[in-house]
A and B are shown apart, each in its own frame.
Chain A
Amino acid sequence: MDKFSPFINLLFAGSIDFLRQSYYYQDDNMAKTIKEINEKIRQGKAVVVNAVEIIDIVREEGLKKAAEKVDVVTTGTFGPMCSSGAYFNIGHSKPRIKLGGGKAYLNDVPAYAAFAAADLFIGANALPDDDPRNRSHPGDFNYGGGHVIEELVAGHDIRLVATAYGTDCYPRKKLETWINIKDLNEAVLFNMRNAYQNYNVAVNLSDRTIYTYMGVLKPRMGNAGYSSAGELSPLLNDPYYKTIGIGTRIFLGGGTGYIAWHGTQHNPCVPRLPNGTPRGGAGTLAVIGDLKQMSPRYLVGTSMLGYGCTLTVGIGVPIPILNEEILQYTAVSDAEIFAPVVDYSTTYPNRESGILGEVSYAELRSGRIRIQGKEVPTASLSSYPRALEIANLLKEWIQSGKFFLTEPVAPLPGVESGIVFKPLNERSITD
């Protein structure tokens, strides 16, 4: 028996192969792998559409046909994302200075100098020490960390002023110099929380104007602010993170980047609609990419009146259409995604629970929503036209063979993770 087994194995393997092939061709032609999609991209044959176009394609052709035809759906978002920042290595001065443990300022905005000698990190919300902040209310917040990052990316010289304590091996105590992105050894955008999967709609129930990260909110629900790309938004098109994971290559700030981890406050276990989309803020992404490739068109220094400075970030994520289920998620439209309306005068600041209602992104985009019988005009903080521009740019990159898809190396924590989004448990220090 033994001497025949290789032959039998071969025969058997051959017939399995045949069976598998006929199965693909007859029943499930659309089941694809990322490898197969990348081969199509290499040949210039991949069918790529954006997350808006796919809605009509599925409506007109049905799920099955559309899943056979379409290989990739591109998403995009462009909104203020506060937990963003950049780190870079400035090169060693002569004589040497150890920035770590010292103080460093970039255009008067403090940078985090707590690593080795020549590495700095600047956060989007950093403000100059002499910024009046809200001493005269509402503060303007005209220049901060987000603006430094935008200027750095734009190729402008940035003024670095640093002080250190001096050591035998790093004797220098003061440094004042211009730096430019082209001279830095590495310049990396690293955002610990971006691309929120859905978000609150903010209103103001009080009798005075309030100044929030959701914009200027007029008294007595005079307006409502919202901020999601809705049907174009990356995580709303893959609500259960079936394709988006750690290692996914993405459009980041005009260059290519990667998903590094789930973002802070990643909260997948929230209530969801039957279509999978969460009914409020849920998943988030931590992203990383080479700042030197990026563009100030997609990284914009941003000032929120009476609130602070931030960075508006452009992100686009490609979704490989591996099967009908994944396609179905990408066909979600603004009318099918709902956001909670939250009072930012009392409920939000006091971390109280309770919402005033739920509205769809289709209603939000109509310019008016109805909340508790009142018609309220709406304003977006994130740019839909630029989110669409990003989705279309990513589409072009894939169609022209400049951008290939990656297999995630690990999934993001999903609904099975049991993650609980914990509030701060304050404990008295004096007791």
Chain B
Amino acid sequence: MSENNKSSKRIVARKIVLHFPRRMVEEPILFHLTKDYDLEFNILKASITPEAEGLMVVELKGDQHNYDQGIQYLIERGVRIQSLSQNVTRNEERCTSCGACVTICPAGAFEVEPVTRIVKFNDAKCIACGLCIKACPPRAMELHF
């Protein structure tokens, strides 16, 4: 394998939220992502609403080129894609930096700044499990699916 080939094989891993329209709920989307685009997936959350709209939070991993092609395929099939960080947000006005969330989050997305003790929310680590939403005493964490 040449140097050029190596550098073009940039591996990316991203957490994204997929919204499926009703007609697609029964299509094996992830199978195609694996088979046709050589992408690894890890399902963090999956649900179907009473209106039969599908929602899936997945981590997709693979070569950058394949990843882009896979995303293109999803868009063409009518899947709406959201970046995960847009789904769980913190209302900074309501957050008091108490820290009740810190031990609840399974992904370690909340960190206490050692000197000021201000609680930081690192949305890149968030897996949108939603456990913090109701565990937050002032209800500062918001889920937007």
On A, residues with C-beta under 8 Å from B are 78-80, 138, 140, 142, 215-216, 218, 222-225, 300-305, 312, 365, 367, 377-386
104-121 of chain B: CB within 8 A of chain A: 104, 112, 116-118
B99 touches A379 (CB 8 A): yes
When distances are taken between beta carbons in the complex, the residues of chain A under 8 Å from B135 are: 215-216, 305
On B, residues with C-beta under 8 Å from A are 94, 96-104, 112, 116-118, 134-135, 137-139
When distances are taken between beta carbons in the complex, the residues of chain B under 8 Å from A142 are: 139
Given the interface pairs A300-B138, A302-B138, A303-B137, the reply to whether A385 lies near B117 with Cβ below 8 Å is yes
Shortest distance in angstroms between A233's beta carbon and chain B's nearest beta carbon? 14
A140 touches B134 (CB 8 A): yes
A385 touches B97 (CB 8 A): yes
When distances are taken between beta carbons in the complex, the residues of chain B under 8 Å from A225 are: 100
Shortest distance in angstroms between A322's beta carbon and chain B's nearest beta carbon? 30
Select one of B97, B101, B117, B134 contacting A365, CB under 8 A: B117
A380 touches B100 (CB 8 A): yes
Q: List 30 A-B contacts (CB under 8 A).
A: A78-B96, A138-B134, A142-B139, A215-B137, A216-B135, A222-B103, A223-B103, A225-B100, A300-B94, A300-B96, A301-B138, A303-B134, A305-B134, A312-B138, A365-B117, A367-B112, A377-B102, A377-B103, A379-B102, A379-B103, A380-B99, A381-B99, A381-B100, A381-B137, A382-B98, A383-B98, A383-B99, A384-B99, A384-B117, A386-B96
When distances are taken between beta carbons in the complex, the residues of chain A under 8 Å from B138 are: 300-303, 312
B137 touches A80 (CB 8 A): yes
Additional pairs, 9, CB under 8 Å, beyond known A223-B104, A300-B94, A304-B137: A80-B137, A138-B134, A215-B104, A224-B103, A303-B134, A365-B117, A380-B98, A381-B137, A384-B117
The complex places the Cα of A305 from the Cα of B102 at a distance, in Å, of 15
When distances are taken between beta carbons in the complex, the residues of chain A under 8 Å from B101 are: 379
> Which of the listed residues B100, B101, B116, B139 has the most CB atoms from chain A within 10 Å of its own CB?
B100
The complex places the Cα of A312 from the Cα of B138 at a distance, in Å, of 9
Select one of A304, A378, A386 contacting B97, CB under 8 A: A386
When distances are taken between beta carbons in the complex, the residues of chain A under 8 Å from B134 are: 138, 140, 303, 305
The complex places the Cα of A78 from the Cα of B96 at a distance, in Å, of 9
Tell me the nearest residue of chain A to B101, going by C-beta: A379
Shortest distance in angstroms between B132's beta carbon and chain A's nearest beta carbon? 10
When distances are taken between beta carbons in the complex, the residues of chain B under 8 Å from A304 are: 137
A383 touches B97 (CB 8 A): yes
B112 touches A312 (CB 8 A): no
The complex places the Cα of A263 from the Cα of B102 at a distance, in Å, of 31
When distances are taken between beta carbons in the complex, the residues of chain B under 8 Å from A312 are: 96, 98, 137-138
When distances are taken between beta carbons in the complex, the residues of chain A under 8 Å from B118 are: 385
Tell me the nearest residue of chain B to A387, going by C-beta: B117
A302 touches B103 (CB 8 A): no
B139 touches A303 (CB 8 A): yes
When distances are taken between beta carbons in the complex, the residues of chain B under 8 Å from A140 are: 134
B104 touches A379 (CB 8 A): yes
The complex places the Cα of A234 from the Cα of B69 at a distance, in Å, of 61
Tell me the nearest residue of chain B to A379, going by C-beta: B103
Shortest distance in angstroms between B106's beta carbon and chain A's nearest beta carbon? 10
B102 touches A302 (CB 8 A): no
When distances are taken between beta carbons in the complex, the residues of chain B under 8 Å from A78 are: 96
Shortest distance in angstroms between B121's beta carbon and chain A's nearest beta carbon? 14
The complex places the Cα of A378 from the Cα of B94 at a distance, in Å, of 22
The complex places the Cα of A301 from the Cα of B103 at a distance, in Å, of 22
When distances are taken between beta carbons in the complex, the residues of chain A under 8 Å from B102 are: 367, 377, 379
Tell me the nearest residue of chain B to A382, going by C-beta: B98
When distances are taken between beta carbons in the complex, the residues of chain B under 8 Å from A223 are: 103-104
Shortest distance in angstroms between B62's beta carbon and chain A's nearest beta carbon? 34
Shortest distance in angstroms between B135's beta carbon and chain A's nearest beta carbon? 5
